[in-house]
Amino acid sequence: MDIVFMPVLVVLIFLACIGACIGSFINVIVWRMPRGESIVFPGSHCIKCNHFLSWFDNIPFISFFLLKGRCRNCGEPISFRYPLIELICALLFLISYFSTPSSYLLGTQWLVIIFSCILASILLSLTILDINYFWLPESICRFGVFCGLLLSFIFSLNLEENSSLFAEHFFASILGYFSFSLLSKVAKKILGKPALGKGDAKLVALIGSWLGFYGLCLTVYLAFIASGILVTIGLFLKRIKFGEYLPFGPFLSICTFLVWSLGNYFWYSKIIAFGNLFLRT
């Protein structure tokens, strides 16, 4: 049954539930990967007493409040980070239902929604890892590139209007990686210290595979603008020290999802409108 014949509310509730479950798995990823642990085995357990959680203690978002934020076995507090990530992921999945990526406006709605959720999950994982550990794992970036190119390949096969889509996204991914790698080396030469991490180049390759050349350029532009504004405010409020290293991955990830969700034209029109306003003043 096509999605247009299904009650929208039912679809949204389903997406929110799946998003919360994926958010629970993301909690496992961002905790275990930095420690070199398997994200599959062992099962979910309390990190304080190693007590394995029963299914009713592992229900996303709900179990945290039923347990009043404490482990049933040892009584130790459970970080609020767990339900927060589950909630954020559920919201991202809801937004994915309304996503209108420019490269896939002519495609099947269900396929776009499914891949939108995959992209949201990947970007959320990378954002958390970069904020906490200044680390963008190559394995996640490669998986993201694979999914992005897979989507463009499917659309290239099914729609004559998008026959060159895969090639565009493939070369955008390569160009993004090498351009950012070069930018990183130039910035290091000028500043005398690393300014952009190697993981950022891999994330940019991921972005190119999903958004294509124009979406990639737009995302990088918005990310630099957003980071510049935040750093300026942080310096003014003395919350950031001059020369302090900040992760750039979260800006790239957030802007990627915004460009994917709203489309290239939306952001181009806003940039042009802002430019015209600036010139008038």
Residue 130 lies in a domain: no
Which residues form the domain of 84? 1-98
Task: Tell me, yes or no, whether 90 and 146 share the same domain.
Answer: no
Same domain, 80 and 151: no
Print pLDDT tens along the chain (281 aa): 445 556 888 999 999 999 999 999 999 999 999 999 999 888 888 888 888 888 788 888 899 988 888 988 888 898 999 999 999 999 999 999 999 999 898 767 899 999 999 999 999 999 999 999 999 999 999 999 999 999 999 988 876 666 789 999 999 999 999 999 999 888 878 877 777 778 999 999 999 999 999 999 999 999 999 999 999 999 888 888 877 788 999 999 999 999 999 999 999 988 888 777 766 65
* Contact yes or no for 128/26 (Cβ under 8 A): yes
Regarding whether 154 and 89 lie in a shared domain, the answer is no
Domain C-terminal end among 34, 67, 98: 98
pTM of the shown model: 0.92
